[in-house]
Amino acid sequence: HASRVKQTARCKTLLVLTIDTINPTVKKVEYAVRGPIVQRAVELERELSQGMKKPFAEVIKANIGDAHAMGQQPITFFRQDAKSRACRILQSCGGHSMGAYSASQGIDSVREDVARYIERRDGGVPCDPDDIYLTTGASDGIVTMLKLLVCGEGASRTGVMISIPQYPLYSAALAELGAVQINYYLNEEKCWSLDIPELQRALDEARQYCNPRALCIINPGNPTGQVQSRKCIEDVIQFAAKERLFLMADEVYQDNVYADGCQFHSFKKVLFEMGPEYSDTVELASFHSTSKCYMGECGFRGGYMELINMDDEVKAQLTKLVSVRLCPPVPGQALMDLVVNPPQPGEPSYDNFIKERTATLSALAEKAKLTEQVLNTVQGISCNPVQGAMYSFPRITIPEKAVKEATEKGQQPDMFYCMKMLEETGICLVPGSGFGQKDGTYHFRMTILPPSDKLKILLDKVKEFHQKFTQQYS
């Protein structure tokens, strides 16, 4: 390998593709959830397995919303009990094989099942299977929708409003597409709520240098764990209608709601309840996934998007665009079908399915509470309630001296903090700077996914580390 590195250095000026001649939009892409912290965590695991001495026995990864990786058992129905449904899905596959390409928009019968699921979820608001596109995880749907929206140059370049903090898929996709990212800040003091005046401020400022065309909402929120009220969703829809913005509702955590008094309201349902003035005019794309909720089936890359009020010609373009990649993975489509078509009362798997789903969601609810409680006992950490999703995003006080040392190293202070925590405790969190935060504030994102006993240890270690760190740099 050493010789190859030398070789590369020697020939660098002869290479076609170097860091100086790479697509510049690629260089601008950032994605903290799998960034340097995680790379170091993987190295540490290797070092531990090679017998190197560390101040900890194992690396605990609380950096990514991946339930199975954190030991959550797959729901039995999705793995063993779904034979009869599998047959029905295979009937709809080319050659009755999962190995055949499907229609590019997704298997018809799966899209029909998705439509019926949405109708049940939204109390009967009608859903047309033609408006459903199956995707390779929600990520794929989100990037594809953004791609459709981007056009113009200079001051008429497409701008897209995203929350700060955000899930960094959004900023990464906008960077790659060369679109303008318009930040609106969630209100940390009011439990990460979304305030309309702040949307208006962000939009008005952005109109001076770009053409804002879309507004992205994540509800329940990643990384901030808030659940939007019905009223707030109504206000957002009104705002989008007034300002002529395409709404993108990322609802992958729709079953992950824990806090008393909180409830999931889909943008689609609220839109239709607001009457035809809105439901006939506001363009909405909403996204769902097999990766989250009680399923946590990330590896299958299943997902769908529903498109409301999308222009027919645009839909034709979309269908053409997705056909270039042939189709979403068929096993992921099949899994999506199981998710939207779970066992019904009287079916053999029903009782066990309900038991497992309930157990999974109540364990998450408990861990959400535990996380908030323990973190709030630490001086210098303050944590909003984890109302939903799978994350807490506590604010941390980083002493001046530590900020200075980080800055000298060319690191974000919270990256410095998290890297130190990883090296000393084996705990892998993601610095708040990867998601965006108000200048001068620092956070980290922590999943609530580790099993309860491990989560307790983790929280204690975080507490201990924070106290030591604060002392060291005071």
Ligand X SMILES: Cc1ncc(COP(=O)(O)O)c(C=O)c1O
Site for a copy of itself in 139-168 (CB under 8 A): 139-140, 143, 147-151, 168
Say if CB 364 and CB 372 are below 8 A apart. Answer: no
100 binds ligand X (CB under 6 A): no
The option from ligand X, a copy of itself, none interacting with 303 (CB < 5 to 8 A, set by class) reads ligand X
Restricted to residues 208-237, the positions that interact with ligand X (CB under 6 A) are 218, 222
The C-alpha atoms of residue 135 and residue 468 are separated, in whole angstroms, by 46
Question: SS3 letters for 213-262?
Answer: EEEEEECCCCCCCCCCCHHHHHHHHHHHHHHCCEEEEECCCCCCECCCCC
Residue 326, interface with ligand X (CB under 6 A)? yes
Total site size for a copy of itself, rule CB under 8 A: 97
Q: How far apart are CA 470 and CA 468, in angstroms?
A: 5
Among ligand X, a copy of itself, none, what binds residue 399 when CB lies within 5 to 8 Å by partner kind? none
- In the complex with a copy of itself, which residue's Cβ is closer, 332 or 385? 332
* Tokens coding 64: 């990514």
Question: Residue 149's CB: how many other CB atoms inside 10 A?
Answer: 18
Please calculate the CA angle 218-436-43 and round it to the nearest 5 degrees: 100
The single residue listed with the structure tokens 């859903």 is: 127
Rounded CA Rg of the chain: 23
Q: In degrees rounded to 5, what are phi and psi of residue 211?
A: -115, 90
Beta carbon nearer to ligand X, 106 or 303: 303
HEC readout, 39-89: HHHHHHHHHHHCCCCCCCCCCEECCCCCCHHHCCCCCHHHHHHCHHHHHHH
Q: Give min distance, CB of 21 to a copy of itself, in A.
A: 6
Q: Three-state DSSP class for 307?
A: strand
Among 117, 167, 278, 442, binds ligand X (CB under 6 A): 167
250 binds, among ligand X, a copy of itself, none (CB under 5 to 8 A by kind): ligand X
Q: Which of 137, 332, 388, 431 binds ligand X (CB under 6 A)?
A: 137
Distance CA 42, CA 59 (A): 9
Q: Cβ(394)–Cβ(191) under 8 Å?
A: no
65 belongs to the binding site for ligand X (CB under 6 A): yes
Residue 19 within binding range of a copy of itself, rule CB under 8 A: yes
Q: Does 306 bind ligand X (CB under 6 A)?
A: no
Q: Is 285 in the site for ligand X (CB under 6 A)?
A: no
**CB–CB of 249/122 below 8 Å?**
no
- Taking CB under 6 A as the criterion, the residue among 44, 138, 227, 365 binding ligand X is 138
Q: Select from 9-17, 41-49, 104-112, 136-144 the region that touches ligand X (CB under 6 A).
A: 136-144
User: Closest-CB residue for ligand X?
Assistant: 137
Q: Which stretch binds ligand X (CB under 6 A): 9-17, 89-97, 135-143, 184-192?
A: 135-143
Among ligand X, a copy of itself, none, residue 252 binds (CB under 5-8 Å by kind):
ligand X
Identify residues 380-439 at the interface with ligand X (CB under 6 A). none
Please, are residues 411 and 398 in contact by the beta-carbon 8 Å criterion?
no
Bond from prior residue into 223 cis (ω within 30 degrees of 0):
yes
Q: Which of residues 83-122 bind a copy of itself (CB under 8 A)?
A: 93-95, 97-104
Q: Name which of residues 121 to 140 contact a copy of itself (CB under 8 A).
A: 128, 136-137, 139-140
52 binds a copy of itself (CB under 8 A): no
Single out the segment in contact with ligand X by CB under 6 A; choices: 73-81, 134-142, 438-446, 450-458: 134-142
Distance CA 436, CA 79 (A): 38
Residues of the shown chain interacting with ligand X in the complex, contacts defined by CB under 6 A: 65, 137-139, 167, 169, 218, 222, 250, 252, 289, 291, 298, 303, 326
